[in-house]
Amino acid sequence: MAEPLPLCHLDGALLPLREARISPLDRSFLFGDGVYEVIALHGGYASRLHANIARLKRSLSELRIRNPHSDARWNELVQELAAANGGGDLYVYLQVSRGAEFGRNHAPLPDLEPTVFGFCAPLPATPAEVLEHGVACITAEDTRWARCDIKSVALLANVLLRQQAVEAAAAETILLRAGWLTDASASAVHVVIDGEIRTPPRSHQLLPGTTRGLIEELAAAHAIPCRSVPVSEAGLRGADEIWLSAATRGVVAVTHLDGVSVGNGRPGPLWRRMRALVEASWVRP
């Protein structure tokens, strides 16, 4: 992964990332008590920013963290940070924690000034090799908590699950909870069965991906069959196509799962079509 870009946002100021400091008593450090967003910008254009801001507000509200900014200010903050780092193709990482109190108390939830932090990094281009051949994934039991719909910074299970993929020389770990598909460690998962895109329904068990939302909108606009429906382990393993989606990847084909070919082992035709639609959506209208 490329290094972050030099300037960050911390509590209203732009400053060098290397000089940014927060209190060790910040609750995101002590308890993982904070939320985040990852916003992709292509040529300086953040096509899903509205969805990122909506999800950020929902995560804050579910955790009862005060939202420190209006939608307009969040929008501006993202644009300011991207522009300060030269714009172009990058992603903005935004984190909001409940803030720092003098002490360490689980509860009562203190009414603090939330800490707002953001930095940018170059958006990794999907390698030609991945577009041509797809990626290999492994599966694992979903060991995350019971509120995966909240984009919380408490990501230890995701980190350990992603490490399993790294150790297996795979791109991602696809998660199953009691025999049903949920998510991947840092992506949403879609399957194609009989020409229809299927994604597990939104619930507390998975993160409502902004790219998933985009795929659903594009499918509706182009009359591609697409449903939110539970996907069993057998459905996953027997799918004609499997896709991963995330803001920093777009949509990527999974061509091997636990060492077994998905479909014919090559990126499928519906993936090819959806990838083109997703890429077209990145262009400023």
Interface with ligand PLP, residue 247, by CB under 6 A: yes
By 3-state DSSP, what share of the chain in percent is helix, strand and coil, each rounded to 5?
A: 30, 30, 40
Interface with ligand PLP, residue 47, by CB under 6 A: no
Interface with ligand PLP, residue 281, by CB under 6 A: no
Q: Name the DSSP class of 252.
A: E
151 is a catalytic site residue: yes
Give the residue, chosen from 59, 85, 139, 187, that forms a contact with ligand PLP under the rule CB under 6 A.
Answer: 187
Please identify, among the stretches 70-78, 120-128, 185-193, 228-236, the one whose residues bind ligand PLP according to the rule CB under 6 A. Answer: 185-193
Distance of alpha carbon 135 from alpha carbon 253, whole angstroms:
6
Interface with ligand PLP, residue 183, by CB under 6 A: yes
Distance of alpha carbon 235 from alpha carbon 245, whole angstroms:
18
Distance of alpha carbon 62 from alpha carbon 74, whole angstroms:
18
For ligand PLP, the closer CB: 79 or 248? 248
Active-site hit among 42, 98, 151, 162? 151
Interface with ligand PLP, residue 278, by CB under 6 A: no
Interface with ligand PLP, residue 140, by CB under 6 A: no
3-state secondary structure of 107: coil
Strand spans (E) along the chain: 7-10, 13-16, 34-41, 90-97, 115-122, 135-141, 172-177, 180-184, 188-193, 196-199, 226-228, 241-246, 250-257, 260-261
Please identify, among the stretches 10-18, 79-87, 113-121, 240-248, the one whose residues bind ligand PLP according to the rule CB under 6 A. Answer: 240-248
Interface with ligand PLP, residue 210, by CB under 6 A: yes
Chain contacts with ligand PLP (rule: CB under 6 A): 38, 183, 186-188, 207, 209-212, 245-247
